[in-house]
Amino acid sequence: QVQLVESGGGLVQAGGSLRLSCQASGRTFSRSDMAWFRQAPGKEREFVSYISWTGTSTFYADSVKGRFTISRDNTKNTVSLQMNSLKPEDTAVYYCAADARKGSIFRVGTYDYWGQGTQVTVSA
């Protein structure tokens, strides 16, 4: 079992930065692939970023490449998402996820564990 709690969301002006954190509880965290997804009002939950359990493999949605950076600290059981140069279209609830099965890292159904989400709002 893995429990995930996100924090760090808030209101920021376009061009600003936020750092999201996901605090995990559970003995399997260090060997869990982790990801961030986001869901804007009226839209489906979409992939944002991924990091392997070793931290050596990362992927980003095209829309956030060069602006967002995912990282993890297995000692602290945390995964973070540094978001720079934020745009209004980044506005969404951001969710931390951990996978417990094989599948596409880009698909919601691949991940068995989810946090409650944290709101990010970017004003123009």
The partner residues of 60 in beta bridges, in order of sequence, read 49
Place of tokens 């993890």: 72
What tokens appear for 11 in the block?
């209101």
Q: How confident is the model at residue 97, as a pLDDT? A: 96
Mean pLDDT by 10 residues, the chain (124 residues): 93 98 81 94 97 94 98 92 98 94 90 96 97
Cα–Cα distance, 15 to 25 (Å, whole number) = 33
pLDDT at 29: 67
Tokens of 25: 């509880």
In 3-state terms, what secondary structure has residue 3?
Answer: strand
Which residues have a Cβ under 8 Å from the Cβ of 1 and sit 6 or more positions away?
26, 113
**How many other CB atoms are there within 10 angstroms of residue 120's CB atom?**
22
